[in-house]
Amino acid sequence: MRLALVGLSHRQAPVELRERVAVDAPAAAALAGTLADGCEAVVLSTCNRTELYLATDDVTNPLEERATASLLALAPGDAAALEPLLYRLGDDSAALHLFRVAAGLDSLVPGEGEILGQVRDAFAGGTTGPLLDRLFRQALHAGRRARVETGIGENPSSVPAAAAALAQQVFGDLGGRTVLLVGAGKMSELTARNLRSRGALIGAVANRTLEHGAELAEQVGARAVGLAEIPALLATADVVITSTSAPGFVVDMAAAEAALRARRGRPILFVDLAVPRDVEPALSTLDGCFVYDIDDLEAVVVTSLAGRRSEAVQAERLVAVEAERFREWQSSLAVVPVIASLRAHAEAIRAGELAKAASRLGRLPESDRKLVESVTSQIVAKVLHLPTVRMKEAAAGAEGLIYADVVRHLFGLGEEDQS
């Protein structure tokens, strides 16, 4: 079976391009279902990346071309700008990449914990078969191992923590500073906890669904409001954290300009964690208005990495081991049909010979006939054991297909189907 990956990430593309192809969980599941025409498909879309994973045993299926076309179709007007930034990986390289993603090694913030859940959700929403099921289960296993067996996940420098650190850099002491949360998802919750630990006050949680916003507001000691109240709240909020899945801006120039007039020179900080972005980028041109998006957090993150490099090295080694295990398993798939055919061939010979001797065996007691059946089965199993082991071992290297062809030729496997 073949595996193909086509993606766009923060490694190559800025947020203004990544947001054009970002999709939420239901849309990712729908796209995976559309792609799963004669193949398996999973779509992983986060703040840092959008990736399409396809797998099939049909050698004529143009997986990479289909994935590329589908990814570019998410933003047809930007296809010319996006296409050169796409990365395309296959088989071993694609598997290793996913394992690194699940372990947090490919994140903007190495070791961040949110990605493991995002990989799990993408897997759950995908249309999987034997290869992608094995791939994603092993990726999740690798991600958990990296966090348990190394220190990469200890005191993780997550995106929410980086956002809180950025706010403290801008204002110094966050004590008494009022925060407006826009969006009530996990990212907003984690950011709120980080800000509160630094002394900030969460004033309100604005969310499209008031009931959902009320749940988070109760946890952080704030009040829940609808998105329509954001313009009025900007007049009193010192820090605005946005993290919604809205398709357009939830904070625009008109609202910001009105708020700045009411604030009488007091600055306001916007930290936009959403992809697509929630805050109109042009706000950064206004005096007293500071706007940072998720890419801007990289400078904050870099300062937290020095003490974690050795842990990342250990995690890389662990991930490489898991990727090698997957490679060996995928390679073994090439010889599995041959092994099955060889066993079926041997069993057919055994059954045929017993059938020829049926008249003589019929005179034996039932216990003796069962003994003959058992002994002949054991002989076949033992004769085939070592060839089976050797073929599986060879499959892990470059000689697997050669061994398979030799076995087919020596035993005439498949020839009876052609006659």
Is the Cβ–Cβ distance between 274 and 245 less than 8 Å?
A: yes
- pLDDT, tens digit (0-9, with 9 covering 90-100), for 267-280: 999 999 998 899 99
The whole model's pTM is what?
0.71
Is the Cβ–Cβ distance between 104 and 143 less than 8 Å?
A: yes
Residue indicated by tokens 């088989």: 91
- pLDDT, tens digit (0-9, with 9 covering 90-100), for 183-198: 988 888 888 988 988 8
Sorting pLDDT into bands at 50, 70 and 90, what band is 398?
A: low
Separation CA 207–CA 204 (nearest Å): 10
Among the residue ranges 15-29, 181-195, 213-227, 387-401, the one predicted with the least confidence is 387-401
Is the Cβ–Cβ distance between 244 and 237 less than 8 Å?
A: no
Rounded percentage of the chain residues whose pLDDT exceeds 70 = 93
Is the Cβ–Cβ distance between 247 and 276 less than 8 Å?
A: yes
Separation CA 311–CA 152 (nearest Å): 5
What is the distance in angstroms between the CA of the first residue and the CA of the last residue of the chain?
28
Mean pLDDT of 222-226: 92
Q: Which token pair is 11?
A: 């490694």
12, 322, 21: which is closest to 146 by C-alpha? 322
Is the Cβ–Cβ distance between 142 and 103 less than 8 Å?
A: yes
Residue indicated by tokens 């490099």: 309
Q: What is the DSSP letter of 382?
A: H
401, 412, 404: which is closest to 388 by C-alpha? 404
Is the Cβ–Cβ distance between 234 and 210 less than 8 Å?
A: no
Whether the link from the prior residue into 337 is cis, omega within 30° of 0, is no
Q: What is the mean pLDDT of the chain?
A: 87
Q: What is the DSSP letter of 295?
A: G
Which uninterrupted H or E stretch holds 372?
A: helix 366-395
Q: Which token pair is 283?
A: 């706000």
C-beta neighbour count of 44 within 10 angstroms: 26
The DSSP secondary structure of 383-415, one letter per residue, reads HHHHHHHHHHHHHTTTTHHHHHHHHHHHHTTTH
Residue 6 has pLDDT above 90, yes or no: yes
Residue 233 has pLDDT above 90, yes or no: yes
Residues in the chain: 419
The DSSP secondary structure of 331-344, one letter per residue, reads HHTTTHHHHHHHHH
The DSSP secondary structure of 345-370, one letter per residue, reads HHHHHHHHHHHHTHHHHTTS-HHHHH
235, 243, 251: which is closest to 283 by C-alpha? 251
- pLDDT, tens digit (0-9, with 9 covering 90-100), for 343-368: 888 888 888 888 888 888 878 888 88
- pLDDT, tens digit (0-9, with 9 covering 90-100), for 45-102: 998 899 999 999 888 889 999 999 999 999 988 999 999 999 999 999 999 999 999 9
Separation CA 6–CA 82 (nearest Å): 12
Separation CA 247–CA 144 (nearest Å): 33
C-alpha radius of gyration, the chain, whole number: 29
The answer for 363, left when phi > 0, alpha when psi is -120 to 50, beta otherwise, is alpha
The amino acid sitting at 413 is L
Mean pLDDT of 397-416: 72
Q: What is the pLDDT of residue 135?
A: 95
C-beta neighbour count of 223 within 10 angstroms: 15
- pLDDT, tens digit (0-9, with 9 covering 90-100), for 133-170: 999 999 999 999 988 888 776 654 677 888 888 888 78
Say which residues have a Cβ less than 8 Å from residue 153's Cβ, sequence separation at least 6: 104, 111, 113, 146, 147
Q: How distant, in Å, are the alpha carbons of 16, 43, 185 from that of 26?
A: 22, 10, 15
Q: How many angstroms from the chain centroid is the CA of residue 244?
A: 20
Set out the domains of the chain in order of their start, with CATH numbers: 2-155+308-332 (3.30.460.30), 159-302 (3.40.50.720), 336-414 (no CATH)
Residues annotated as part of the active site: 47
